[in-house]
């Protein structure tokens, strides 16, 4: 027992796993990082096989940053030979799928959870590409704990409260089902948002609609983080506030806070893992590192990254925001012409490492800078340990499943995203080539009626409102009128009527 405790103490104080990127390659530290690094250099035969299937069947492929590392490695390598592969956050997946259809692709494969394929299908339909099939890669439901939060009775009760409040706007995270968006929009005027545009969406809505009440859901952590951010702005200078949004002042932000409601019962099981213990260790062990956090993480990690961001050493936002932040800091160092070692704490799903390595390694190689190293640190909770009896190795980083994370914190990997595998993708592509029935792999149709319109039709409308906002910087007049006049959103123009002025959006 004495030896066990000694080993346990050593493991508990061991450094977080990390991956160091240089112009010559990557160096992992710790078993979790080593597992991530294994698939950064995929088997060329696997890459060639995937490209051959995609080309033979003229299939475009859109994937999320949180894919399985093996699959991400193959996809990243395959992109060099087949241009119709795109890895991004959820909103841009749909935009890129539309572009692929316009370029002549015959079918789209979506690697993500079900709400992502539903969003792709809805946006494709709205863009006039309903004849281009969209496929998932698993016939089972590919769920999402956050999306499920908005399907609970509690969310419906919360929306009924919003519907009874004059001048209410429901801002729903895009990481929700299409039918949920539709039913919500039938109850309360609704616009979707992403983690990269939610701040501007809420502030622009409040600027356009006086005395607006904003109801944000279902992500409780993101909502609480937004409230924290707005609270800081309410106590900032007028100049600081206008730098965020030119039509606001500290007093208007303070007024908005009084009318900003957050659904209290929704979170992502992955981002839930970044808890207090992880943040305490990050503060102690990596105080001088750059700190990043997705807007969905709990308050402790968010506050750490937000505090660092105020000093130019952190980033809070979407996966794309985090990736671009890391790349920008590396680019700045390239201009300094001095040796350096940059450290970044990755406060989001570990699947992002493939995209980070690809971007950073490319920058270092292009500049021929062997004197710069970039270390990506995966924060793992103290409780994220497992005892390995068979190999006689004692305690290893990682819970018993080997995922390297726990409900107490860090090194998050999404079990739902990992349902998308290379074998599953290959099977679907072969089935397309063989002309097999793939109805089970299509996104849900949502043909049930809501106030005389299909759930898919009305559910697409909040997405199109967001796309209008992304393109123009303002909320569409139909949405504003629905809020101001407290009319039922089901009287808004149909999706087809909105299509012409919203579907042209392309996001970066």
User: For 281-324, how does the pLDDT look when each residue is reduced to its tens digit (9 = 90+)?
Assistant: 888 999 999 999 877 666 677 788 888 988 899 998 888 889 99
> How long, in residues, is the chain?
508
Structure tokens at 496: 């087809």
229 and 305, same domain (yes or no): no
Confidence of residue 152 (pLDDT cuts 50, 70, 90): low
210, 117: one domain: no
Structure tokens at 129: 């590409």
Please report which confidence band the pLDDT of residue 140 belongs to, taking 50, 70 and 90 as the band edges.
confident
Q: How many CB atoms lie within 10 A of CB 397?
A: 22
Binned at pLDDT 50, 70 and 90, residue 331 comes out as very high
For residues 87 and 501, the model is more confident at 87
CB 188 within 8 A of CB 215: yes
Q: Is 296 within 8 Å of 347 (Cβ atoms)?
A: no
Judge whether 204 lies within some domain: yes
Task: State the pTM of this model.
Answer: 0.67
411 belongs to a structural domain: no
Clarify whether residues 312 and 428 are in a common domain.
no
For residue 100, is pLDDT > 70?
yes
| Cis status, amide bond into 473, omega within 30 of 0 | no
Average pLDDT, the chain: 81
pLDDT of 148 higher than 80: no
> What pLDDT does residue 381 have?
55
What confidence score (pLDDT) does residue 266 get? Answer: 55
Band of residue 345 on the pLDDT scale cut at 50, 70, 90: very high
Specify the number of domains making up the chain.
3
Select the more confidently predicted residue: 264 or 507: 264
- Mean pLDDT for 148-156 is 70
Q: Are residues 361 and 256 in the same domain?
A: no
Whether the per-residue pLDDT at 223 is higher than 60: the answer is: yes
pLDDT band at 398 (very low <50, low <70, confident <90, very high): very low
Asked whether residue 138 carries a pLDDT value surpassing 60, the answer given is yes
Is 107 inside a domain boundary?
yes
> According to the per-residue pLDDT averaged within each range, which of 86-95, 308-317, 344-353 is highest?
308-317
Mapped onto helix, strand or coil, the DSSP state of residue 25 is strand
Say whether both 296 and 373 belong to one domain: yes
- Is the same domain home to 297 and 364? yes
**Whole domain around residue 22: which residue ranges?**
2-36+270-397
| Predicted pLDDT of residue 411 | 37
Q: Is the model's pLDDT at 368 over the cut of 50?
A: yes
Q: Mean pLDDT across the stretch 171-180?
A: 85
What phi and psi, each to the nearest 5 degrees, are found at residue 129? -115, 40
Does 449 map to a domain?
A: no
pLDDT value at 71 more than 70: yes
Distance CA 166, CA 482 (A): 11
At residue 168, does pLDDT exceed 70? yes
Comparing 146 with 429, the larger pLDDT belongs to 429
Handedness of CA 464, 243, 239, 287 (dihedral sign): positive
Residue 446 counted as domain residue: no
Residues 197 and 296 in one domain: no
Same domain, 390 and 274: yes
- Considering only 210-224, 373-387, 481-495, which range has the smallest mean pLDDT? 481-495
In a domain, 426, yes or no: yes
Determine contact, residues 376/21, Cβ cutoff 8 Å. yes
- 56 and 171 fall within a common domain: no
Per the structure block, which two tokens stand in for 458? 């009305």
pLDDT at 228 over 90: no
364 shares a domain with 317: yes
pLDDT value, residue 256: 97
263 with 274, same domain? no
Domain harbouring 469, CATH code: 3.40.50.10800
| 362 in the same domain as 475 | no
Structure token pair of residue 269: 């099981």
Question: What is the distance between the alpha carbons of residues 50 and 474, in angstroms, rounded to a whole number?
Answer: 42
Specify whether the CB–CB gap between 191 and 237 falls below 8 A: no
Strands 290-294 and 340-345: parallel
CB 411 within 8 A of CB 385: no
Residue 403 is assigned to a structural domain of this protein: no
Q: Are 176 and 147 in contact (CB under 8 A)?
A: yes
Produce one character per residue of 113-133: b if its CB has 16 or more CB atoms within 10 Å, e if not. Answer: bbbbbbbbbbbbbbbebeebb
């Amino acid at each position: 027992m004495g030896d066990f405790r000694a080993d346990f103490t050593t493991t508990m104080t061991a450094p977080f796993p990390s991956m160091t990127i240089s112009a010559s390659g990557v160096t992992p530290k710790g078993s979790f990082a080593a597992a991530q690094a294994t698939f950064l250099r995929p088997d060329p035969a696997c890459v060639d096989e995937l490209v051959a299937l995609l080309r033979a069947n003229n299939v475009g492929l859109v994937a999320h940053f949180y894919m399985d590392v093996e699959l991400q490695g193959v996809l990243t390598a395959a992109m060099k030979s087949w241009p119709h592969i795109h890895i991004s956050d959820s909103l841009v997946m749909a935009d890129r799928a539309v572009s692929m259809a316009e370029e002549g692709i015959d079918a789209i494969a979506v690697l993500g959870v079900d709400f992502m394929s539903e969003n792709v299908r809805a946006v494709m339909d709205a863009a006039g590409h309903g004849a281009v099939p969209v496929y998932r890669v698993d016939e089972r439901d590919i769920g999402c704990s956050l999306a499920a939060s908005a399907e609970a009775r509690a969310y419906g009760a919360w929306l009924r409260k919003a519907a009874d409040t004059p001048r209410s706007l429901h801002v729903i995270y895009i990481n929700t089902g299409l039918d949920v968006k539709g039913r919500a929009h039938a109850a309360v005027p609704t616009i979707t948002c992403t983690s990269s545009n939610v701040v501007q969406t809420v502030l622009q809505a409040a600027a356009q609609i006086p005395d607006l009440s904003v109801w944000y859901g279902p992500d409780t952590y993101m909502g609480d983080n937004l409230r924290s951010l707005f609270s800081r702005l309410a106590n900032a200078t007028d100049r600081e506030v206008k730098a965020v949004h030119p039509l606001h002042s500290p007093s208007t932000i303070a007024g908005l806070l009084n009318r900003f409601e957050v659904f209290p019962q929704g979170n992502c099981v992955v981002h839930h893992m970044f808890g207090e213990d992880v943040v305490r260790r990050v503060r102690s062990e990596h105080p001088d590192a750059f700190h990043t956090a997705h807007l969905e993480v709990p308050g402790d990690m968010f506050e750490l990254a937000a505090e660092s961001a105020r000093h130019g050493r952190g980033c809070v936002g979407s996966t794309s925001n985090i990736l671009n932040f890391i790349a920008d800091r590396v680019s700045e160092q390239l201009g300094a012409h001095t040796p350096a070692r940059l450290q970044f704490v990755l406060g989001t799903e570990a699947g992002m490492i493939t995209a980070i390595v690809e971007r950073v390694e490319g920058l270092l190689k292009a500049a021929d800078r062997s004197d710069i190293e970039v270390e990506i640190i995966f924060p793992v909770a103290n409780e994220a340990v497992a005892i390995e009896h068979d190999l006689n190795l004692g305690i290893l980083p990682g819970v018993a499943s080997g995922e390297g994370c726990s409900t107490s914190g860090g090194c998050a990997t999404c079990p739902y995203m990992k349902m998308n595998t290379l074998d599953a993708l290959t099977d679907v592509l072969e089935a397309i080539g063989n002309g097999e029935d793939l109805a089970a792999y299509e996104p849900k149709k949502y043909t049930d009626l809501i106030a005389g319109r299909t759930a898919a039709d009305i559910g697409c409308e909040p997405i199109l409102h967001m796309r209008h906002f992304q393109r123009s910087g303002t909320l569409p007049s139909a949405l504003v009128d629905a809020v101001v006049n407290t009319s039922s959103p089901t009287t808004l123009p149909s999706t087809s009527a909105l299509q012409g002025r919203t579907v042209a959006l392309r996001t970066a």
